[in-house]
């Protein structure tokens, strides 16, 4: 089994915000895999299916970003999965808009959703895909992450969604090392 979780905030008003890039990536992957979010369980929306003979869950927590750990804690406890069977997709203000960074493990940095996940799980050894959303030091961080992308940035994000889906498919097919080698490219 593999569980891929995209972080974001529920509700129409947050759909296109910078902080919801994790939801957008997971939505794009669900579309590619022809899965739909038909279940509400574990304080999240779940798209369930099979990929190459293995059960796959795509998850969007509905707890709001700063409480994302509740959903992951419930999933991990219910399915008894290890870190190798989990991947989390989320935004990163320390990366340029559209930059992808895959990692095998790590800390939370300034991301409160990841901070909550690490606190609730009690371990940090699971893959993650960070999507760059950049930052503007003139705007308070909480306001910035809840802002939308400019028209120019949104064009970059559309391409990024496609790359992120390809990176996740490579992760599913060949593992985290292959995905990191292919998509952690400095530009």
Where in the sequence numbering do the catalytic residues fall?
19
**What are residue 132's DSSP bridge partners?**
92
**SS3 call for 69:** helix
- 182 Cβ contact partners less than 8 Å away, ≥ 6 residues apart: 167, 170
Q: How many Cα atoms occupy the beta-carbon half-sphere of 145 within 13 Å?
A: 23
Q: SS3 for 145?
A: helix
> Which residues fall within 8 angstroms of residue 34, CB to CB, at 6 or more apart?
49
Strands (E), the chain: 2-6, 39-41, 44-51, 54-61, 86-92, 100-103, 128-132
Rounded Cα distance between 36 and 33, Å, is 9
């Amino acid at each position: 089994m593999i569980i891929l979780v995209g972080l974001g905030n529920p509700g129409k008003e947050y759909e296109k915000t910078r902080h919801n890039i994790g939801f957008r990536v997971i939505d794009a992957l669900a579309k590619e895999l022809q899965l739909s979010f038909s279940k509400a369980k574990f304080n999240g929306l779940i798209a369930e299916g099979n990929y190459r003979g293995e059960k796959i869950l795509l998850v969007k927590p509905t707890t709001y970003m700063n409480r994302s750990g509740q959903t992951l804690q419930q999933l991990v406890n219910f399915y008894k999965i290890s870190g190798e069977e989990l991947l989390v997709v989320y935004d990163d203000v320390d990366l340029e808009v559209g930059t992808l960074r895959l990692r095998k493990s790590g800390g939370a940095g300034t991301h409160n959703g990841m901070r909550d996940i690490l606190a609730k799980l009690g371990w940090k050894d699971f893959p993650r895909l960070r999507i760059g959303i950049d930052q503007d030091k003139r705007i308070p961080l909480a306001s910035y992450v809840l802002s939308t992308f400019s028209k120019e940035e949104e064009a970059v994000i559309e391409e990024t969604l496609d790359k992120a889906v390809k990176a996740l498919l490579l992760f599913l097919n060949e593992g985290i090392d292959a995905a990191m080698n292919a998509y952690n490219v400095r530009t």
